[in-house]
Amino acid sequence: MLLLFGEVKKLSLRKSTKDPRFYIVISMIAAIATIVLELYGYFQTGSIAILSDALETSVNLIAACIGFWALSFAIQPPDLEHPFGHSKAEYFSSGIESILIIISALLIVVEAIQKIFTAHHLEQVDLGIILAAASSVIYLSTAWLLFNAAKRLRSITLKADAYHLLSDAWVSLGVVVGIVLVKLTGWSVIDPILGLLIGFQIIRTGIKMLRETGSELLDRALPYQQQQEIKNILFAYEDLGLKFHAFRTRVAGSRSFVYFHILVPGQWSVQRGHDLCEEIEIKISAALPGSHVMTHLEPIEDPISWDDEGLSD
């Protein structure tokens, strides 16, 4: 824990609010605090639902450590071997986290099934409710912080971690409800049944995250709204008689790439064409911060079927 606080201090000296790793360290500290609470709650109450939540939080901690490594690698500048940068390293974190989530959920399901068919009694129910509620508060506050940072820094790692924490918050709230029902009814079997349901829900979350990671690795295009922002900039130039085709976009972690060809009158000078390309690239970069725009200049008189690859949807 002291090492983590030391890492936060180091990052804070380098404008930490602009470094996504700062938020990952906060997530790690929150995970450790929650694990301590939940394991204490499990040993005091014997609740399988609380143990399930603790195992899931352990996955959060491992995933956060992997996320810290991935972000440290992703922020490295482009080099000769990686001319487009290292931003895709964030997907390794997301993929590993998804697999760990599924594994931990399977362990929860096995433990819950065993408890359903064996004698099981909860102790200190009130304490269990308090600790589960406290865990939920930690999850929600940390998720809110990471969501805001992910949006501002355009980090898929922070976004994945935030969604994971939000899912855990709902799980903890479910644990509170389950323990309250055990207290009101005296039916201890509700606890392992709830743990079983939590396990299945966590498996569902892990599979969803794994699919999203796989989709992003296949160079998904920019969201429709962002593509329209780019096209609106280009449409203004079409009114001046210019044309565009071979429009392509892709996302790689926090970086966005935009490609297209610009068709101008053949009698234009190289300087005039270059100035136009630079003007358009600057406008798109201003509209989509963090994007990398690459253009190719062509004479409009060339016999190419640019209509088939133009800006139309």
pLDDT of residue 254: 65
Angle subtended by helix axes 156-185 and 89-116, to nearest 10: 10
**Through-space distance between the first and last CA atoms of the chain, rounded to whole angstroms:** 52
Q: Which CATH number is 2-217's, of 3.30.70.1290, 1.10.10.10, 1.20.1510.10, 1.20.120.1200?
A: 1.20.1510.10
Element (H, E) at 179: helix 156-185
* pLDDT > 50? residue 31: yes
Plot region of 59 (φ>0 → left; ψ -120 to 50 → alpha; else → beta) = alpha
Give percent above pLDDT 70 in the chain: 85
pLDDT of residue 110: 80
The neighbouring-strand residues paired with 299 are 264
Q: What share of the chain is helix, strand, coil (3-state, %, to 5)?
A: 70, 10, 20
Ranked by mean pLDDT, which of 11-25, 97-111, 294-308 comes out on top? 97-111
* pLDDT > 50? residue 3: no
Domain ranges of the chain: 2-217, 224-309
* pLDDT > 90? residue 107: no
Architecture of the CATH domain 224-309: 2-Layer Sandwich (3.30)
Q: How far is Cα 299 from Cα 178, in angstroms, rounded to an integer?
A: 69
pLDDT of residue 207: 85
CA 94 to chain centre: 7
Instruction: For residue 304, name the pLDDT band (cuts at 50, 70, 90).
Output: low
Tokens at 21, concatenated: 């790793």
Report if pTM > 0.85. Answer: no
pLDDT of residue 180: 80
The burial of 241, by beta-carbon neighbours within 10 Å (0-12 exposed, 13-18 middle, 19 or more buried), is given as exposed
Instruction: For residue 305, name the pLDDT band (cuts at 50, 70, 90).
Output: very low
* pLDDT > 60? residue 96: yes
Q: How far is Cα 190 from Cα 186, in angstroms, rounded to an integer?
A: 9
The residue with greater pLDDT, 260 or 44, is: 260
Question: 3-class SS at 222?
Answer: coil
The neighbouring-strand residues paired with 252 are 255
pLDDT of residue 280: 92
Q: pLDDT by residue (tens digit) across 141-178?
A: 998 998 888 878 777 778 778 877 877 777 777 777 77
Tokens at 81, concatenated: 């071997």
Ranked by mean pLDDT, which of 66-70, 189-193, 260-264, 301-305 comes out on top? 260-264
pLDDT of residue 275: 92
Instruction: For residue 2, name the pLDDT band (cuts at 50, 70, 90).
Output: very low
CA 264 to chain centre: 41
Pairing label, strands 243-252, 255-264: antiparallel
Question: CA angle, corner 191, sides to 190 and 194, nearest 5?
Answer: 85
Q: pLDDT by residue (tens digit) across 247-287?
A: 888 877 667 889 999 998 888 999 998 999 999 999 998 88
Mean pLDDT computed over every residue of the chain: 78
Nearest to 302 by CA among 236, 233, 246, 257: 246
What's the DSSP call for residue 80?
A: S
The burial of 211, by beta-carbon neighbours within 10 Å (0-12 exposed, 13-18 middle, 19 or more buried), is given as exposed
